[in-house]
Amino acid sequence: MAFTLGTMGSLESQGAFHLRVEGDLVFNNVSFYYPTNPDVSVLNRMSIHIA
């Protein structure tokens, strides 16, 4: 199952909340850069599996 992360407002304006999640969290081949500096890669094909 895939999820897309969107932009969230600040937690202070939304109130605090707790979330219980079960299962593994897996990111495969993730790359990221800031739109203001697209020539500098912050993450370059990072993969992580949290069980």
Q: Give me the pLDDT at residue 27, please.
A: 94
Q: Give me the pLDDT at residue 48, please.
A: 95
Question: 9-40 b/e with 16+ CB inside 10 Å = b?
Answer: eeeeeeeeeeeeeeeeeeeeeeeeeeeeeeee
Q: Tokens 């990221």, residue? A: 32
| Residue 16 scores a pLDDT above 70 | no
pTM of the model: 0.49
| Residue 44 scores a pLDDT above 80 | yes
Q: How far apart are CA 36 and CA 33, in angstroms?
A: 9
| Residue 15 scores a pLDDT above 60 | yes
Q: Quick: pLDDT tens for 17-41.
A: 777 778 999 999 999 999 999 999 9
Beta partners for 43?
A: 32
